[in-house]
Amino acid sequence: MQQKTTSPLHTVSPLPVLVIAREGDPFSGLANFYSGATRGTQKVRSITKKDLKREISILDHGDRAFLLAILELKKAYEIRDQFDLRRSWEKALPLLPSPWPGSRADEIEQREFFATFFSQTPDWAKFAVAQSSTKALEDARFVLWFSDKEQRFSPAVYCPNLKTAVFLKAFLGEIHVCPHCSKPFIPSHKGSDYCSPEHRERYRLIRWRARKRAEAAP
């Protein structure tokens, strides 16, 4: 039997996320998926894992807070942790659209009420995360790009602004938020949920204590 040779189909390569390259930026190719002499010859760069940390830091303060809140809520739902869900909802509520008309999730008392209410029914998080994330990605465009560097066509996502690109990278799993310090970090391997082993241990203790308190409550 003839041995199978590796074909490009069997090579897993990350989906390039493209933005227009700023003056002086290294670039990955041209926006050749656009017709027209002006747009089609604009330089684009593919956001790499290496420069993602810098891209997060230059996000607008509100966009950054929104992204981190959504990522925390997403994680809390994925692991179905009541304590994490409650904490994430408290942070996310002032940043999300009102849960329903007339509610004032930006007021402390209301926020506590809704955070408790939503965390007791985890499916609320599923809808909130899916809808808010999709809205944040609405400017992204799926394209077929010819990469001059790799000399091949490649499906890619073109983002007209950095915010959309960073959000997309985050939803592709390239940005995590540490549950202990709430800071974003680029995971070195799949499954690293904390920025450091120290924060993992500290947070486990906090969560354990919160569970004990909840069990002891009348």
Give the binding site for Zn ion (CB under 5 A).
Answer: 178, 180-181, 195, 199
Residue nearest Zn ion, CB atom distance: 178
Smallest gap from Cβ 8 to Zn ion, in A, equals: 39
* Contact between 30 and 38 (Cβ < 8 Å): no
Smallest gap from Cβ 69 to Zn ion, in A, equals: 16
Cα distances from 198 to residues 15, 151, 192, 203, 205, in angstroms, run: 33, 44, 13, 9, 11
Tokens standing for residue 92: 């996310």
Smallest gap from Cβ 56 to Zn ion, in A, equals: 14
Smallest gap from Cβ 166 to Zn ion, in A, equals: 19
Amino acid sitting at position 184 = P
Dihedral through CA 151, CA 152, CA 157, CA 158, nearest 10? 40
Q: Which is nearer to Zn ion, 126 or 209 (CB)?
A: 209
- Nearest residue to 151 via CA among 42, 18, 8: 8
Q: Which is nearer to Zn ion, 170 or 178 (CB)?
A: 178
Q: Which is nearer to Zn ion, 30 or 69 (CB)?
A: 69
Q: Which is nearer to Zn ion, 137 or 181 (CB)?
A: 181
* Contact between 60 and 169 (Cβ < 8 Å): no
Smallest gap from Cβ 182 to Zn ion, in A, equals: 8
**Gap between the Cα atoms of 172 and 194, Å rounded:** 17
Residue 153, strand partner residues? 146
Amino acid sitting at position 212 = K
Q: Which is nearer to Zn ion, 129 or 195 (CB)?
A: 195
